[in-house]
A and B are shown apart, each in its own frame.
Chain A
Amino acid sequence: MKILVCMGNVPDTTTKIKFDSEMKKLDTNGIQWVINPWDELALTRALEIKEQSGGKIEKVSVINIGKADAEPTIRKALAIGADDAYRVDAEPSDSYYIAAQIAEVAKKENFDIIMCGIESSDFNDAAVGSMLAEFLDYPSVSAVSSFEFNDGNVKLKRDIDGGKETIVISTPFVAIVQKGICINPRIPAMRGIMMARTKPITVSAPVETDSLIETTIFELPASKAACKMVDAEDTDKLIELLHGEAKVL
């Protein structure tokens, strides 16, 4: 069996976000690029499952839709332990476009399990995994916080708002994962970094897709008024402000 992990290349989450003068594009000066944190969790769990599968899972691949400058981040995924990688050479303009491109590669390669993080830390769309599943006509399970693979049988736990469901599913399927799926994301070790240099990255050209949406402009949050400090002895005052001024009590 083969697992595909979809990975976004995103600005480090501590980056101070800035845009160009027209507020249309991210100002990428000085940005550190990383694997999207949720995709990193997906990759870590995929590798754990492979290692525990007693050879049933032969391979974990990663895929990224991005230009050549995404390759250092893809190499990082290979250093963490992915066996090989795919890159579709295109700007990852929106979720629909990304999912359509991944679907093309996935159709050719017949992966049994596809894993995606629940959202990306740049567009916060929470859409690629579910869109991909619809393109492929696969079932999908979202908000997965536990993934067990025993002798080819898959058991997932998904968060429903206010509880958890245990789900049984057969391959192929798309699992859209979130926190809880593994304890900590893996970091590359020196041996992994050396090995990653020779692992293959298959690059392909994008296919034509529909364009359904367009970003017109970005905005930054309005600067906030300074925090109003209340004396620690005067908690009555705080309640009065929350009631009378902020009107939230």
Chain B
Amino acid sequence: MSIIVFSENRIGKIKKQSLEAVAYATYISKNNSKPVIAISVGNVNNDELAVLAKYGASKIISITDSNWQNHDSQAYTKLIAEIVEKESADTIIFSHSNMGKAIAPRLSVRLKAGLASNVLALPLSYSPYVFKRKSYNGNAFQQMKIKSQKCVITINPNSCDLVESPVSVNITDFTPTTVANAATKVENIDLITGKILLTEASVVVSGGRGLKSSDNWKPLEELAEVLGAGLACSRPVSDEGWRSHEEHVGQTGKIIAPDLYFAVGISGAIQHIGGISGSKVIVAINKDKDAPIFSYANYGILGDAFDVLPKLIESVKKFKSA
């Protein structure tokens, strides 16, 4: 038996979330001695693929055929099912990313393998597997037992420490029997470049209605820049059109789990908390002492964002140069 990890890449680079998924698989492997095999689809060179071995993948199945560039979830499901059978895998791990969410449930049905999605921690038990997963938008956790022989899991970002565990690796170029027969046709791809992706960022700086208008984002952008942070906003801000919907974090927007989240001028409605509750540390900057955000935050500053931000930027600069 083996553990398979589906590794995602973006412009030839393996995503941080996929490294976390490999690290997660390696934890399981240490418990049950099953080897960790990573699948990579797309144009990723061998030096980059070898990074997967740093976190414990001893075999990498690489599919570089350009016919597989269209991430059609139906075709990918068949492809992964073929490899699962070939490698007699019983545990298949995805990131809880857009792609993971699109493929993992299909694979669960195809393999009759119980799905544990949105998993937040290492397994609570290994035989049978019991996983702790997010439910009720982070207002509760569910412990889920897998009853089937195989299981498919999707790991929430930042749920597994990136501990290195290097092994020697065998990289195989694989030509699947499955045909890349996609029912979907990709007409256009619009990539956001030159920005730190919210789902990858370890620090996120986020602005709310308290910033009053789209003209006032400069200090927040500067704070994000000095911190090397991703930039986000609350729902009213994107609804007003002050910032793009791409930046909206919250229950109906992007759900993120950075190490550090700055909520600036965000009151902290429960729908907003639903999108950020996985953050390790929350800092709230708000001039309303009764703002609900302070009951979720670990650290708070009571004050006007326009006064606090310039000082905070100077403090970060001082810290970074020290």
Are B142 and A126 in contact (CB-based, < 8 A)? Answer: no
Which of A126, A169, A224, A242 makes the CB contact (< 8 A) with B296? A224
List chain A residues, Cβ under 8 A from B108.
96, 127, 131, 212
Across the interface, name the chain A residue whose C-beta is closest to B289. Answer: A229
Are A221 and B139 in contact (CB-based, < 8 A)? Answer: yes
In the assembled complex, A72 has its CB within 8 A of some CB on chain B: no
Q: For the complex, give the distance between the alpha carbons of A99 and B188 in Å.
A: 31
In the assembled complex, B43 has its CB within 8 A of some CB on chain A: no
A25 CB to nearest chain B CB (Å): 12
Number of A interface residues in the complex (CB < 8 A): 85
List chain B residues, Cβ under 8 A from A133.
73-74, 106
- Cβ < 8 Å to B, chain A residues 33-82: 37-38, 41
In the assembled complex, B143 has its CB within 8 A of some CB on chain A: yes
Are A235 and B315 in contact (CB-based, < 8 A)? Answer: yes
Are A230 and B314 in contact (CB-based, < 8 A)? Answer: no
- Cβ < 8 Å to A, chain B residues 181-240: 182-192, 197, 199-200, 202-203, 227
Are B301 and A140 in contact (CB-based, < 8 A)? Answer: no
Q: For the complex, give the distance between the alpha carbons of A126 and B188 in Å.
A: 25
In the assembled complex, A104 has its CB within 8 A of some CB on chain B: no
Which of A141, A176, A236 makes the CB contact (< 8 A) with B318? A236
Are B136 and A96 in contact (CB-based, < 8 A)? Answer: no
List chain A residues, Cβ under 8 A from B146.
212-213
- Cβ < 8 Å to A, chain B residues 126-167: 130, 132-148, 154
Q: For the complex, give the distance between the alpha carbons of A143 and B15 in Å.
A: 19
List chain A residues, Cβ under 8 A from B245.
145, 179-180
List chain B residues, Cβ under 8 A from A38.
252
In the assembled complex, B114 has its CB within 8 A of some CB on chain A: yes
In the assembled complex, A21 has its CB within 8 A of some CB on chain B: no
Which of B99, B114, B185 makes the CB contact (< 8 A) with A169? B185
Which of B188, B191, B260 makes the CB contact (< 8 A) with A242? B260
Q: For the complex, give the distance between the alpha carbons of A135 and B192 in Å.
A: 34
List chain A residues, Cβ under 8 A from B311.
232-233, 235
Are B130 and A216 in contact (CB-based, < 8 A)? Answer: yes
Across the interface, name the chain B residue whose C-beta is closest to A103. Answer: B109
In the assembled complex, B270 has its CB within 8 A of some CB on chain A: yes
Q: A179-B252, A212-B146, A238-B315 are in contact. Are A124 and B197 (CB under 8 A)?
A: no
- Cβ < 8 Å to A, chain B residues 167-186: 182-186
Q: For the complex, give the distance between the alpha carbons of A139 and B260 in Å.
A: 38
In the assembled complex, A217 has its CB within 8 A of some CB on chain B: yes
Which of B10, B284, B312 makes the CB contact (< 8 A) with A235? B312
Which of A13, A217, A227, A246 makes the CB contact (< 8 A) with B300? A227
- Cβ < 8 Å to B, chain A residues 191-249: 210-221, 224-225, 227-233, 235-236, 238-239, 241-243, 246, 248-249
Are A221 and B298 in contact (CB-based, < 8 A)? Answer: no
In the assembled complex, B251 has its CB within 8 A of some CB on chain A: yes
B20-28, B30-38, B82-90, B115-123 - the one binding chain A: B115-123
Are A166 and B199 in contact (CB-based, < 8 A)? Answer: no
Are A163 and B253 in contact (CB-based, < 8 A)? Answer: no
Q: A123-B135, A179-B245, A238-B315 are in contact. Are A230 and B144 (CB under 8 A)?
A: no
List chain B residues, Cβ under 8 A from A218.
135, 140-143
List chain B residues, Cβ under 8 A from A179.
245, 248, 252-253
Are A212 and B113 in contact (CB-based, < 8 A)? Answer: yes
Contact with B along A106-144 (1 / 0, CB 8 A): 000000000000110111111111110111011111110
List chain A residues, Cβ under 8 A from B301.
229-232, 235, 238
List chain B residues, Cβ under 8 A from A99.
105, 109
A1-9, A83-91, A154-162 - the one binding chain B: A154-162
B251 CB to nearest chain A CB (Å): 6
Contacts A/B (CB < 8 Å), 11 sampled: A96-B115, A123-B135, A124-B137, A129-B105, A140-B74, A142-B102, A166-B190, A213-B115, A213-B145, A219-B132, A243-B319
B-binding residues in A (CB < 8 A): 11, 13-14, 17, 19, 37-38, 41, 95-96, 99, 118-119, 121-131, 133-135, 137-143, 145, 155, 158-170, 173, 176, 178-180, 210-221, 224-225, 227-233, 235-236, 238-239, 241-243, 246, 248-249
3 nearest A-B pairs in the assembled complex, by CB-CB distance: A232-B303, A212-B114, A139-B183
A-binding residues in B (CB < 8 A): 8, 10, 15, 71-74, 77, 96-99, 101-110, 112-118, 130, 132-148, 154, 182-192, 197, 199-200, 202-203, 227, 245, 248, 251-253, 259-260, 270-271, 274, 277, 280-281, 283-284, 294-304, 307-308, 311-312, 314-316, 318-319
